Amino acid sequence: MALPDYIASQDQPKLWYNLRGQVLMIFQISSFSIAFLAAAAVSGLTAILVWRKRQAPGSIFLFLMMLAVSEWNLADFMETSDLQLADKIIWSKIAYLGVHMAPGLFLLFAIDYTGRRHWLTKRNVSLLFSIPVVTIALAATNEWHHLIWTSFTATGSGTYIYGHGIWFWVATIYVNTILFLGSIAIVHFTLHSKGIYLAQAVGIIIAIVLPWLSFFIYLSGLNPFPALDITAIAFAFTGSILAFNIVLWQFLDILPVALETLFESMVDAILVLDTRDRIVDINRAAKHLFNIEAGSMIGQRIEIALANFPAMTGYIARPDGLDNIITIHTPNTRHIDIHVSLLYNRSGKTNGRLIVLHDITRLVQADQALEKANQGLKEKLSQVEKLEHQLRELSNRDPLTHMFNRRFIEDAVEKEVAQAQRVGYSIGFLMIDVDDFKEFNDVHGHKVGDQVLIALANYLSSSVRRDDFVCRYGGDEFLVMIKDLPSTEIQTRAESLRRGFESLTIRVEEVELHTTISIGIAVYPQQARTLQDVIQASDAAMYTAKRAGRNRVSILEFKY
């Protein structure tokens, strides 16, 4: 089914404030929102009624489905009542939990109720909910990819129509497919039902028609309320009809399967014991599990009949009867989930026990394989994260000097300039250029020139504070950013850098070299209001130092 997208507003909106007097929510109750609230209440009451019948087939899944429908309607109530778009989107995301869980739970109910419980393996249930879980996650992170909603168009009076992304349609097709499968299972069961079972099944079919009808109206253009999806309300009516069946037709009270057929067709192994722990009945699955003839076990005490399986008999002999998982060898290793239930006669006295043995070997093996795969995935993910970190470092660093490059510094400095503007401190930008570097390269060669640049980079990075930035801006130019110092102190530090490099001896292949640098200074925000302007100003000041004879510091005198 699709997400409800329509809001109708009639009354004056109400403003909700926090303790500081700030508006938290603009809230407006309408007839549509009241309908969703009522539907949520009906769904919740139905869930309570179903919970009382929780021992019957399908009841747990029906209970969970009605809880999901109740959550769905509550979220729709909030979404239709809240007039702020940002809040609407949040409520829409919350609604997606019920939207995409309820159909899957309906299919599980249909499977369990119609006697196909052996299909309900962990693997199948996990696969069933894989798409809904992905859809809910994508809805929660829609701002990153817009695969669920692409736009939110205002149509007036607090109404918004949601534009849908490609995954919305994938999820919609999937949800309607599993609803269709559940409906087919119910219809098939109806065709093979008689008497009271037929009345129950017909009631269920009437209930499941409503969501289909509402969804058809929503997509067909026949909807009198544009973009309003009443599927959540339709599901609530479905719950009401099921509640009616519970009262009128004893739905969930009468098992829709013949006992003998059920006993023999069960995929779980079943043993029935009397009060002296003698085997009085055994089904086909138990015979196959223990690889023995059923007739030879009838009348024997269980510890004798299953003497080759002491772990099992020892557990079954325990009086507490708690569920447990044991391992047996037949001769292959099997993992068995044991459930022991007491049997009572009409007077309420215990007259035996029912032993249900569920073979979960494949599930255990699948869990072990999944754990192994998860471990391998974690290791690969760690490797990928390391590679991503290395790639980020490579893209942000100059390969020669290993200083940050121009790309990184502009991104980082943009954030620092914004911080300086909020807090109110100055930032000094020093544009540094090696004097006569071209002639130096011509005389000594580019290899030696590279060593000079490396020496300058190391010198600068070791001479500035930890919070200051150093980057190779381009060619033989380096940019140094000095934070939160007055202009005079910035100029003093720049002069110290110049003198220090002038006295620095650079050794390249047993040759000692000396060179100098020129430094231009511009201060933000005194001399420029944007990052680009302050860098250009420092560059202009550096060229002033060059023209004045090189090997000196020049600060821009102009003030913004």
**Closest by Cα among 118, 134, 119, 140 to 175:** 134
Kind and range of the H or E run holding 387: helix 361-396
Name the residue with tokens 């060179």: 515
**Helical (H) or strand (E) element with 280:** strand 279-282
Question: Residue 354, SS3?
Answer: strand
Residue 399 CA neighbour count, 13 Å, CB half: 3
Q: What angle do CA 120, 124, 127 make, to 5 degrees?
A: 145
Q: How far apart are CA 199 and CA 141, in angstroms?
A: 45
Domains defined along the chain, listed by start: 14-248 (1.20.1070), 259-359 (3.30.450.20), 404-555 (3.30.70.270)
The H or E element containing residue 197 is: helix 195-220
553 — alpha (psi -120 to 50), left (phi > 0) or beta?
Answer: beta
What pTM was computed for the model?
A: 0.44
d(CA 282, CA 284): 7
Say if residues 333 and 309 touch (Cβ distance below 8 Å): no
User: What is the H or E stretch that residue 25 is in?
Assistant: strand 23-27
Q: pLDDT tens digits for the chain (560 residues)?
A: 333 333 333 445 554 444 444 444 555 666 677 877 887 888 888 888 888 777 767 778 888 988 998 888 888 888 877 777 788 888 888 988 988 898 899 899 888 877 777 788 888 899 999 999 999 999 999 999 989 888 887 766 566 777 888 998 898 889 888 888 888 887 777 666 544 455 566 666 777 777 767 766 666 656 666 556 667 677 777 766 766 665 555 555 545 444 555 666 677 788 888 777 888 778 887 777 777 765 567 778 877 877 777 777 767 666 555 566 767 666 677 777 888 888 776 567 777 888 888 887 788 888 888 888 888 888 888 777 777 766 766 667 888 888 888 777 777 777 888 888 888 888 899 999 998 888 888 878 888 888 889 989 999 999 998 888 898 888 889 999 998 888 889 999 999 999 999 998 888 877 788 889 999 999 988 888 888 888 889 999 999 999 999 999 998 776 55
